[in-house]
């Protein structure tokens, strides 16, 4: 899985191993290492399903329930995406993880000049509720949970999902959706932001507040360390920054008068498995423990289930290579193994061709079968946390926890995550780590098979997912028809109401639901926010 630094002697023997988080690995571990660290079973480990949940949030682990498999899916128009949804479900997928195209992520309608060339390219194009109705036609909203991988306009997408579910005959309380809805990580690690920091966080928290009251099965935020890690953060930074982001949202909601006990149980996390396997396992185990401690000790959360670190551990996109792409099938299997040994409740794998293209059906199916084989064939459901008690794993888990706490303190000393993001501090830290990683690859200190070791001149051909130019015309024509046939007077009235709601500082979700129901477009609703909030000017990083 790579990314650890291996320092060798002249005979190619390993003298030193240094994980990306700065953990120096000893050749041998024994009981003296745990004793020196002050390891206490009840305090640091405990039984599965018991606080602090280092071993698992569930007593029976995978014996009680296999993980949810939620492959990232969506491209072209809603019609094509609906077909892929149903195809994946028919082959055993147990949840959806919806990809939106870049114009949708940026709050642009498909006929906006700025959307040219991007409609349906890296995800599904969505302009209105009509597109959601098409994409989710025949999907059982009460049985299949859906991740909505969108951030700046997650409020709009969740409102649209709610109305689509209701129009399909399901009650609000039955709907199970997880909008990513993490704008701070977007500003740190990916770039699909629109609004300035404070109003952007307001929208995140509007979504959480509304869901706590109206959508009891929804997870209204998926704090996304995944993209922070993909952008260059170390594993300890990934967790530290994700937790500081989550605390920022909690503190905002507390300032509104909400009790964390009433909403933190629906927080979820999207975390990455890319990297050295043992470092990843230690990261997830330490994260479960530390999140429970933060909620209990800092926020007074008492309900056991509300202390769980829940979410998706998967992906691993940064680990994939264009060189020798079939090696990515093997990498993906080990990433999935790391997720399983870490106790992931939900997972997804990047497919072997994703370094090139949107996954072909063959590649997507191979990733799904990898997850199924791990659950059904190789014994990962035999016992809970089979690595528990390992001198090595427990020692590295304790050290990982310390590294995470140190990184969190740096952010706190900066004045908190809002300030750290606004000034570009976090972005600079990650850029520095990305540079060091690339330099390690080029110097050969970090081994990547097929890239800087065991290379080949001839490359395996990869089938590319073909982009169909007709999708643009189809989407724009549907949008024109929508504008001709909807009640434009009602749309205008509701958009004015949305503007008033924003100005008065009220929660935008109820009026967004009505805007979606009236078939207001994504661009129209987003433009209200743009006019009222303005757009964020990213700080200079260098």
Which residue blocks in 377-469 are alpha helix, DSSP H? 391-413, 417-422, 425-443
Average pLDDT of the segment spanning 160-172: 96
pLDDT tens sequence across 254-281: 999 999 999 999 999 999 998 899 999 9
> In this predicted structure, what is the pLDDT of residue 493?
98
CA distance 428 to 432: 6
Reported as a pLDDT band with limits 50, 70 and 90, residue 470 is: confident
Q: What percent of the chain has pLDDT over 70?
A: 99
Report whether pLDDT(197) > 80: yes
Bridge partner residues of 224 (DSSP): 270
Confidence of residue 353 (pLDDT cuts 50, 70, 90): confident
Q: Which of 18-22, 292-296, 460-464, 501-505 is predicted with the least confidence, judged by mean pLDDT?
A: 460-464
Range name among 227-241, 249-263, 431-445, 457-471 with the lowest pLDDT average: 457-471
> What are the beta bridge partners of residue 312?
270, 346
- Start-to-end CA distance of the chain, whole Å, equals 31
Number of domains in the chain: 1
| Mean pLDDT on 123-140 | 95
More confident of the two residues 181 and 356: 181
pLDDT band at 93 (very low <50, low <70, confident <90, very high): confident
Identify the residue whose tokens are 């129009």.
167
Residue 457 maps to a domain: no
Is the pLDDT at 497 greater than 70? The verdict is: yes
Q: Cis bond leading into 159, ω under 30°?
A: no
Which pLDDT does position 2 carry in this prediction? 59
The range of the structural domain enclosing residue 49 comes to 5-443
387-403 pLDDT tens trace: 999 999 999 999 999 99
Look at residue 354 and give its three-state secondary structure. coil
What is the pLDDT of the chain when averaged over all its residues?
93
Q: Report, as an integer, the average pLDDT of 222-233.
A: 94
Average pLDDT of the segment spanning 431-440: 89
Comparing 286 with 77, the larger pLDDT belongs to 286
Q: Per-residue pLDDT for 109 more than 80?
A: yes
Whether residue 364 lies inside any domain: the answer is: yes
Asked if residue 514 belongs to a domain, the reply is no
Residue 170 has pLDDT above 70, yes or no: yes
Q: Which of 284, 312, 306 is nearest to 294 (CA)?
A: 306
Indicate which CATH number applies to the domain containing 251: 3.20.20.240
More confident: 485 or 72: 485
Q: 108 pLDDT exceeds 80?
A: yes
When pLDDT is averaged across residues 148-166 and rounded to a whole number, the result is 97
Residues 289-313, mean pLDDT to the nearest whole number: 97
Q: Considering the domain boundaries, does residue 533 fall inside one?
A: no
Q: Are 174 and 148 in contact (CB under 8 A)?
A: no
Question: Any idea which residue has 């597109």 for tokens?
Answer: 131
The radius of gyration of the chain's CA atoms, rounded to the nearest angstrom, is: 23
Q: Which of 320, 294, 316 is nearest to 307 (CA)?
A: 294
Q: Evaluate if pTM is beyond 0.75.
A: yes
Does some domain include residue 383?
A: yes
Is pLDDT at 1 greater than 70 in this prediction? no
Residue 70 pLDDT > 90: no
Answer yes or no: are the C-beta atoms of 91 and 80 closer than 8 Å: no
């Amino acid at each position: 899985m790579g990314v650890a630094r291996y320092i060798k002697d002249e005979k190619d023997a390993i003298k030193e191993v240094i994980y990306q988080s700065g953990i120096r690995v000893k050749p041998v571990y024994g009981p003296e290492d745990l004793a020196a660290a002050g390891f206490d079973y009840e305090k640091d480990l405990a039984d599965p399903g018991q606080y602090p949940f280092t071993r698992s949030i569930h007593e029976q682990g995978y014996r009680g329930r296999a993980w949810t498999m939620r492959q990232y899916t969506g491209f072209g128009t809603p019609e094509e995406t609906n077909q892929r949804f149903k195809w994946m479900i028919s082959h055993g997928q147990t949840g959806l993880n919806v990809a939106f195209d870049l114009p949708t992520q940026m709050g642009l309608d498909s006929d906006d000049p700025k959307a040219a060339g991007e409609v349906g390219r890296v995800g599904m194009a969505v302009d209105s509720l009509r597109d959601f109705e098409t994409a989710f036609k025949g999907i059982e909203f009460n049985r299949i949970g859906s991740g909505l991988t969108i951030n700046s306009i997650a409020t709009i997408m969740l409102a649209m999902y709610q109305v689509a579910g209701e129009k399909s005959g399901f009650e609000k309380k039955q709907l199970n959706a997880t909008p990513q809805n993490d704008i701070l990580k977007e500003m740190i690690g990916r770039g699909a932001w629109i609004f300035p920091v404070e109003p952007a966080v307001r929208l995140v928290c509007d979504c959480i507040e509304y869901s706590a009251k109206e959508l009891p099965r929804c997870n209204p935020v998926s704090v996304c360390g995944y993209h922070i890690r993909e952008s260059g953060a170390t594993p300890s930074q990934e967790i530290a920054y994700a937790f500081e982001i989550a605390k920022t949202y909690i503190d905002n909601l507390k300032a509104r008068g909400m009790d964390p006990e009433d909403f933190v149980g629906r927080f979820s996390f999207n975390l990455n498995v890319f990297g050295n396997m043992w470092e990843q396992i230690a990261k997830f185990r330490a994260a479960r423990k530390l999140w429970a401690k933060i909620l209990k000790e800092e926020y007074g959360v008492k309900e056991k289930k509300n202390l769980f670190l829940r979410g998706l551990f998967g992906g691993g996109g940064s680990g994939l290579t264009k060189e020798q792409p079939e090696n990515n099938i093997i990498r993906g299997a080990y990433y999935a193994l790391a997720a399983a040994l870490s106790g992931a409740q939900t997972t997804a794998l990047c497919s072997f061709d994703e370094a090139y293209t949107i996954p072909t059906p063959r590649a997507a199916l191979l990733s799904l079968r990898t997850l199924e084989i791990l659950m059904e064939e190789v014994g990962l459901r035999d016992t809970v946390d089979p690595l528990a008690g390992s001198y090595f794993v427990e020692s590295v888990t304790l050290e990982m926890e310390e590294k995470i706490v140190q990184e969190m303190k740096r952010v706190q000393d900066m004045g908190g995550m809002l300030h750290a993001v606004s000034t570009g501090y976090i972005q600079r830290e990650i850029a520095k780590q990305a540079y060091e990683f690339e330099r390690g690859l080029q110097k050969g200190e970090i081994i990547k098979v097929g890239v800087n070791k065991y290379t080949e001149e001839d490359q395996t051909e990869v089938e590319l997912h073909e982009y169909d130019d007709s999708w643009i015309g189809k989407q724009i024509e549907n949008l024109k028809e929508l504008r001709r046939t909807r009640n434009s007077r009602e749309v205008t009235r509701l958009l004015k109401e949305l503007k008033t709601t924003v100005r008065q500082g009220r929660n935008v979700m109820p009026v967004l639901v009505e805007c979606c129901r009236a078939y207001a477009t994504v661009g129209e609703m987003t433009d209200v926010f743009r006019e009222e909030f303005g757009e964020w000017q990213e700080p200079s990083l260098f």
